[in-house]
Amino acid sequence: MIPSLLGTWLYRKAQADRWRVGEAAFVRALGASAAKADANLAADAAGLERYLRSLHLEDLALACACSAGDEEAWQHFVLTYRPVLYRAANTISPGGGGRDLADSLYADLFGLGGHAGDERRSLFRYFHGRSSLATWLRAVLAQRQVDRVRADRKTAPIPDDDSRGAMPSPAPAPDPERDRFVVLMRRALPLAIAGLAPAERFRIACYYSEQMTLAQTGRLLGEHEATVSPISRAAARRSGPPSSGICASSIN
């Protein structure tokens, strides 16, 4: 239960009346956001207020208005966010597929995904203001793209050395066991990685698998990028010896 004074104040700060969103509807959206974040927030007045004040209130008001079908709100959304959607979609799915992805998402945001005669249900009902609207749209887009690619993927073999994105193979070294080592390493490395702490596994995955920058990885982990680099390298080194040990025992 949101105190009426607080609800009114947040409603004004969000400028929700600009999009003809009623105070009661906006306060309901605030309540839904708090419930999604933490079911126990309702019992903690100070925590609830801190949480609600931290929301992206104007974005939430716009989402409420778009969900309700307000025309001006939709015009504003299209002008402001459609370019962002198209650019984001083209980044993760270049070559024309991005546009389809963005258009499909736009239709679902408007609520056109159901059958004829069904009540329009906008995807905006899942936005709760904990992030900016732009970030949320990017997340939805990314999820759709990833699920589409994964559905098309039949098997997931480990890519060969000459596959796109792989590091170039080093020049042949005068190590007679190198080829055997590489094969054994490929089997042993996942086991070694599984032995790392979750945060270390996550860092390695972000940096090596998802090709994120140190800054992006640090942001997700709440660390400065200068911290991520040595930690990532330390984690990679920690995964090395166990893998080498497994390989060495196999070779010997």
Partner 1 sequence: MTNPRDRSVEQGLQKARLPPAAATSSCLDPEVLAAWADGGLSGAALESAQVHVADCDRCQDILGAMMRTEVAVPTDERAAVHPWRRWLTWAVPATAAAAVVAISVWLNVPDASRRSESAAAGASAARERSASSLPTPPPAPGRRDIAAEPVPGPVQAAAPPAALATAAKAAVPEAQEERQGRVAGAGVAAAATDRVAAEPAAASLLSDAATSDDPARWRIRDGAAEHSNDGGATWTRVATGVTAVFTAVSAPGGGVCWLAGGSGIVLLTIDGESWAGVNFPDPVDLVSVRAVDASQATVTASDGRTYSTVDGGVSWATAR
Enclosing H/E stretch for 245: helix 225-251
Nearer to partner 1, 73 or 184 (CB): 184
Residue 167 binds to partner 1 (criterion: CB under 8 A): yes
Nearest-approach distance from CB 112 to partner 1, in angstroms: 19
Q: How far is CA 48 from the centre of its chain?
A: 25
The count of residues interacting with partner 1 (CB under 8 A) is 87
d(CA 206, CA 225): 13
Query: Among 112, 166, 234, 251, which residue sits at the site for partner 1 (rule: CB under 8 A)?
Result: 166
Residue 6 binds to partner 1 (criterion: CB under 8 A): yes
Among the listed ranges 17-25, 70-78, 113-121, 139-147, the one in contact with partner 1 (CB under 8 A) is: 139-147
Query: Among 35, 112, 120, 126, which residue sits at the site for partner 1 (rule: CB under 8 A)?
Result: 126
Mask for 46-85, x = binds partner 1 (CB under 8 A):
x--xx---x-x---------------------------x-
> Mind giving me the DSSP string for 73-98?
HHHHHHHHHHHHHHHHHHHHSTTTHH
d(CA 69, CA 185): 56
Nearest-approach distance from CB 195 to partner 1, in angstroms: 12
**Terminal C-alpha separation, the chain:** 68
